[in-house]
Amino acid sequence: MASSFTTTLADGITIALPKGRILSDALALLKKAGFGGDEVLADYSRKLIVDVPERRARFLLLRNSDIPTYVEYGAADVGIVGKDVLQEQLKDVYEPLDLQFGACRLVVARPRDYSRPADAVNWSHIKVATKYMRLAEDHFSKKGVQVELIYLGGSVELAPLIGLSDYIVDLVQTGRTLQENGLVEVEEIMHSTARLVVNRASQKTKYESIMHLVHQLRTYLS
């Protein structure tokens, strides 16, 4: 309850964690740094907020794309989020650590039998489906390629298969999903790993607690 959290964890911190593929890695790292993990893993399927008073911590289980906003506005003191999301959103948060897990790449891909040249220099106007609108626009703009960007929140690889787009910009880990859907990678835009982000005000008001977390994580990672 909120009153219990306020009383018990007055000098503690709120940590935003991403639901999905990197949650288990995030919890494992926090556990090794002495900030719990098992408690969250036991409750996350039923709760979005998990209080761990003995660790002086509250955990929020959020969508990866929402974490920078929660941290920027101070609803969470710190968060764990992919670098791809940070680069797409450009939120005003402090980023002290590369956590070295959740590695993936943001790439441009097209159908295997696509007839246009793979070299971007030879492209004319094309349609690109993605949820990374800013990163995609920046990438093609630097190449001087005119594109029509189509926002999709999921199942991006389907778009070129049914004629919605010519290309996609999406995250890949192994490339298996692309292969299974008859797509091939054309270009790489960026590498991404999980990062620790900190609210700028919390960095000052909860300095000791946050720097303790940063120090513990940095010590383990090194």
Q: What is the mean pLDDT of the chain?
A: 88
pTM: 0.87
Q: Which CATH architecture is the domain 13-103+193-220 placed in? A: 3-Layer(aba) Sandwich (3.40)
Per 3-state DSSP, the chain is made up of helix, strand and coil in percentages (nearest 5) of 40, 30, 30
Q: Hey, what are 118's tokens?
A: 């793979």
**Sheet with 167-172, side-by-side order of all strands:** 147-151, 126-130, 167-172, 104-111, 183-192
Radius of gyration of the chain from its Cα atoms, rounded to whole angstroms: 20
C-alpha to C-alpha distance for 108 and 147, rounded to whole angstroms: 13
130: which residues sit within 8 A by CB, 6+ positions away?
A: 136, 149, 150, 151, 152, 156, 168, 169, 170
C-alpha to C-alpha distance for 91 and 203, rounded to whole angstroms: 16
CATH number of 104-190: 3.40.190.10
Cα 195 to Cα 9, 62, 113, 141, 149, distances in angstroms: 24, 15, 37, 27, 27
154-207 residue pLDDT tens? 999 999 999 999 999 999 998 899 999 999 999 999 999 999 999 999 999 999
Indicate where the chain has its CATH 3.40.190.10 domain(s): 13-103+193-220, 104-190
* pLDDT band at residue 37 under the 50/70/90 scheme: low
Poorest-pLDDT segment among 53-62, 118-127, 198-207 = 118-127
**Which among 193, 70, 80, 190 has a CA at the least distance from the CA of 132?**
190
Report yes or no: 187 and 100 within 8 Å, Cβ to Cβ. Answer: no
pLDDT: is 160 or 4 the higher one? 160
